[in-house]
Amino acid sequence: MILTLSLLFVVIATISFFCLATYQQIHNRLNRIAVSESEQALQQSVDTISTSFHYIWESFTDSSFINSLGRILSGSMGNRSLTHANLLSLSNELSNQFYAYAYIQDVGLFIRDEETDYWCTTRVVSDDFRRDYENGLFSFDDMSYDSFTDMLLNSVDNRVVRQDFYVGYVRSQYGGYPYSGQMLYLVYPIQLSQSSLKAYAVMQINLDRIREELTSSQYCGDYFSLYAHDQLVYSTDYSQDLQESADTYYLQDFINELGLTCYISLDSNKIYEGIVPFSQLLSILFSILLVMGLVFVGFLFYYWVIPITRLSVSLPSTSGGKNAVERIHHHLSELSAENAEASDKLLHYQKNLALKKIYLGQVSFSAITPPLAEFVPLEEDNYRCICIGCLKEKDAHPFDLESMIEQIRNVSLTAIAYTVIDDIFTCLILQSDNQVYADSQAFFGSLNDLLDALNEENSSQFAIGISDVYNSAESITLAYQEARKSWQSAFFWQNAAVVFNTSLSQYSSSYFVSYVQLDSLYQAILTNHKDTALKIFDQLVADNFETNKTGRQRALYCQQFTSDILGVLVRISTQFDIYAVVESYMSINTQISLQRRIALLREAIIESCEFIPMHDYDQELINAILEYCNAHYADYQLSLSSLADQFHLSKSSISKYFKANSGVNFSTYIEKLRIQQAEKLIMEKKLSIREIAEEVGYQNITTFYNAFRKIEKCTPTEWRQQREILERY
């Protein structure tokens, strides 16, 4: 029975998955066909609309049309003698010009005398255009007077087809159908022979007709929208986002002659309506499969689980059962011994787990708080923390860091376990027993091998910070702080090396030289201010070598102090190629007196200041900074921070230095530089205003407009018109 049921289950499962694969293939094929046909239909519709509007634009430049307008308007505006007969003639001209185009709902002609600011249209002759407009005589209820005149006067007056139309739009604030009140206006300036007359043709586009043309495909859904320069102009559903999903797919195309991008949804129900019965069959098959699976489990439980349970209850009461139980106990005891041996091998991993809890803040040690229950310290244990991290903050953590540490650990550091502590790519390593000595050459050699492998494999700069050795679990947190401080020191100086930090726990007063103090010393030497550098050095000596410190403290502090000062000098020597000056001080004997060591460091600072080129440093640096700005002004990520990183200076230092040597602050200089480059591109007339803004480093066109108005006191379009007038005269 069970075998028959199993075979039937396998057969139905095979059929179901075969049907599912077939369904998926048909589904994908229908989707490709629908998308391909819809894209072809959309492209044909876009070509039709573009062709129609291309003829419209050409008709505006037709000499007979312009001459006809000129005859009607000749001498009429100046003496205000434009009659209703003239208006009727203008209306007839426009009707004759555009009656054949179904995409244009209405056309109006607006004429302005620039000398008298006197307006008229094909419907109204106006002495006070603002008054009549605001009284609703021109049927632009949703557009203010300022917006309407701005739409007309700011229309581009050149002859490049894709740029000589100003697209304005308004949305109805009243109720009604989804398309009611939805208007799109195209403005075209008409060049007349009369110098003081300006004519503007304003066309109201029939958006419903355009929508019908573009959604002619049988697979089109309900959603349709138009965008002008990434701004929504028209939509059948303003609440819907353009996010594709498994049920919705969008087509996109660009109407070149209108400067509009259309988005059309495809209806999945129309695409897949032919395979609905097939999907229903699949649902039935999987339902049968589920029921049979439940029945199969029930049979297994009835025929196997229940009998075995009964047997296990009755077995110990028989003689054979008792012998079997004894054998089982014997095997369990052997397994227990093996398990104890395995537990000993995993002891350092258990310790490492407890250690991780310490650094995650879940447990804290103090003098009266015992270690964790699962953390079993041994008398011969000693602990040393090691922090490993990448010196480049933006670099991702190498994926194989764990395997590389394991490879080194298995060779020579077999008693060390590790874990990832935090998000700066730092690993903690615990030395758990006396199998590896704290100061052995093998220990440091293995760490150097690990560092070389990391830097070679990942093409990055890694550093390793090491703490002192401790023999109590209560000191683990202190060891981590020491290792972390060592790594941070390497990070500050970009020193890809194994850095050792002396103990912080043995003395009540600790050595401390801040990175701010070291950076001040670095800047003083860099700018050849010898007196300032020596003053900072003397202050550091006074702060860290007071008379109340013990001899052991002085020795430890002097060793760290020497490393810090030499680190500053090495950093400077690499910039000016004067390493030979510093090299003689790199091997200062640790056995010499404190006073002699401080004197040698002081001599090294003086000698470095004397060898740094003095005469052209300031001018060379500011020239290099300005050259870098001129080469990278188009990078929108250019900032004081990136400039400081490029020239190895702090953000505040380079800001003050830039203003002191150039006369303006950094942001003002970059802003003027970008606007100057933008003006050159504007006069070339090859790019749109938005493209020019992106070309000179502005991500946001609003920011570009604000910067342009701030410097030139006008918009880019107004500036170009002014320049053209100046060039003309």
At residue 475, does pLDDT exceed 70? no
Residue 310 is predicted with a pLDDT of: 62
Residue-range domain boundaries for the chain: 61-205, 347-500, 515-611, 617-728
At residue 504, does pLDDT exceed 50? no
Q: Which segment of 139-148, 156-165, 237-246 scores lowest on mean pLDDT?
A: 156-165
* HSE (side-chain half, CA atoms, 13 Å) at 350: 12
Q: pLDDT band at residue 505, thresholds of 50, 70 and 90?
A: very low
Q: pLDDT band at residue 321, thresholds of 50, 70 and 90?
A: low
Sheet holding 166-170, edge to edge: 125-126, 118-121, 104-113, 197-205, 183-190, 166-170
Residues 6+ apart with CB under 8 A from 250: 223, 242, 244, 263, 264, 265, 266
Is the overall model pTM greater than 0.85, yes or no?
no
pLDDT in tens, 609-640: 877 754 345 667 777 888 888 888 888 888 88
Closest alpha carbon to 478 in 385, 379, 349: 385
- Can you spell out the DSSP letters for 622-661? HHHHHHHHHHHTT-TT--HHHHHHHTT--HHHHHHHHHHH
Residue 269 is predicted with a pLDDT of: 72
At residue 160, does pLDDT exceed 80? no
At residue 362, does pLDDT exceed 50? no
CA angle 334, 336, 340 (to 5 degrees): 120
Closest alpha carbon to 187 in 197, 200, 199, 198: 200
pLDDT in tens, 6-61: 677 677 777 767 666 776 777 677 777 878 888 888 888 888 888 888 877 777 77
Q: For residues 392-401, give the mean pLDDT.
A: 53
Helices (H) and strands (E) counted in the chain, each on its own, are 26, 15
**Do 240 and 223 form a contact (C-beta atoms < 8 A)?**
yes
Q: In this prediction, what percent of the chain has a pLDDT beyond 90?
A: 0
Q: For residues 150-176, give the mean pLDDT.
A: 40
Residue 464 is predicted with a pLDDT of: 82
Report the chain's mean pLDDT, rounded to a whole number: 69
At residue 317, does pLDDT exceed 70? no
Residue 125 is predicted with a pLDDT of: 58
Q: Which segment of 256-270, 366-380, 595-609 scores lowest on mean pLDDT?
A: 366-380
Second-level CATH architecture of 61-205 = 2-Layer Sandwich (3.30)
Q: pLDDT band at residue 414, thresholds of 50, 70 and 90?
A: very low
Q: CA-CA distance, 502 to 553, in Å (whole number)?
A: 11
pLDDT in tens, 69-84: 777 766 554 444 556 5
CATH of 617-728, one of 1.10.1790.20, 3.40.50.300, 1.10.10.60, 1.10.3720.10: 1.10.10.60
Residue 435 is predicted with a pLDDT of: 46
Q: For residues 537-561, give the mean pLDDT.
A: 69
Residue 350 is predicted with a pLDDT of: 47
Closest alpha carbon to 183 in 254, 127, 108, 239: 108
Residue 157 is predicted with a pLDDT of: 42
Residue 170 is predicted with a pLDDT of: 33
Residue 109 is predicted with a pLDDT of: 76
Q: For residues 87-114, give the mean pLDDT.
A: 69
Q: What is the DSSP letter of 161?
A: G
Closest alpha carbon to 82 in 35, 46, 118, 129: 118
Q: For residues 637-653, give the mean pLDDT.
A: 82
Residue 268 is predicted with a pLDDT of: 74
- Can you spell out the DSSP letters for 170-181? E--SS-SSTTTT
pLDDT in tens, 419-467: 555 545 555 556 555 444 445 556 666 677 777 777 766 556 778 887 7
Residue 562 is predicted with a pLDDT of: 81
Second-level CATH architecture of 347-500 = 2-Layer Sandwich (3.30)
